[in-house]
Amino acid sequence: MPSIHALANPARFLRIARPMTPILFWTGLALIVVGSWAGLTLTPPDYLQGETVRIMYVHVPTAWLGMGGWSGIAVSSIVFLVWRHPLASIAARAIALPGAVFAALCLISGSIWGRPTWGTWWQWDGRLTSMLLLFFVYLGYMALARADADQGGDGRIPATYGVAGSVLLPIIRYSVVWWNTLHQGQSIGLTGSSIAPSILWPLWLTLIGFSLFFAGIVVMRMRTMLALAKTEARQRRMAR
């Protein structure tokens, strides 16, 4: 098993990333399709929420990956700040756009779910507001990383921002515990789930599927960024 330091070598990383990209992407997409089909056709409606419970098969994975994406940015930023691995900075920047997209999908699907369930599209409660803040933090990170790259920065400023932004993650996680909120409490934990097994099982398919799909997109973006960096370096050498 290659170590983190070994994978920090771009050439070694690319040897692993090239075959893994289509595996992650297409396996994830297949599981998303199968899980979504099963959730729409093979599970019963919820006794309280009725048919709207089926939004769960998209909403829960997008919420998980919206938060998980920023966790990846924070970890990559720490690795970059401590060990100065340029691949860690590339990983953080590669995660930012899909992370922002999944955070937006979480907010959109949550609003669609909330309209018939709560009687409103939006409520400024702890969970929804903190997730919206995370979406804006994603946008801020992308703008900061672009500005830092354009000005020839060393990447430390966006990396520091990436670590600082992680303060939102425990707030999102425990918001339904700390504040009185419309959003339902935790339904799935380490000790079990309050969701009926007949409804729950397709969620694992979409959760794994979206995670693999997300990883495939991130690896694809990292490969693209490495290729662009290699092209730019070659152009600079030729211009001398």
Tens digit of pLDDT for each residue in 11-68? 889 999 999 999 999 999 999 999 999 999 999 988 778 788 899 999 999 999 999 9
Residue 188: strand, helix, or coil: strand
189 sits in which H/E element: strand 188-189
Q: Given this model, what pLDDT does residue 1 score?
A: 43
* Six token digits for residue 16: 């692993």
Report the C-alpha gap between 131 and 128 in whole angstroms. Answer: 5
Residues in the chain: 240
In this structure, are strands 192-193 and 188-189 parallel, antiparallel, or unpaired? antiparallel
Report the C-alpha gap between 140 and 92 in whole angstroms. Answer: 13
Supply the DSSP symbol for 54: G
pLDDT by residue (tens digit) across 130-159? 999 999 999 999 999 999 998 988 999 999
Percentage, residues of the chain above pLDDT 70: 88
Q: What are phi and psi of 194, to 5 degrees?
A: -90, -5
For the entire predicted model, the pTM comes to: 0.90
Task: Return the number of other C-beta atoms located less than 10 Å from residue 187's C-beta.
Answer: 13
Q: Given this model, what pLDDT does residue 194 score?
A: 65
Q: Given this model, what pLDDT does residue 174 score?
A: 80
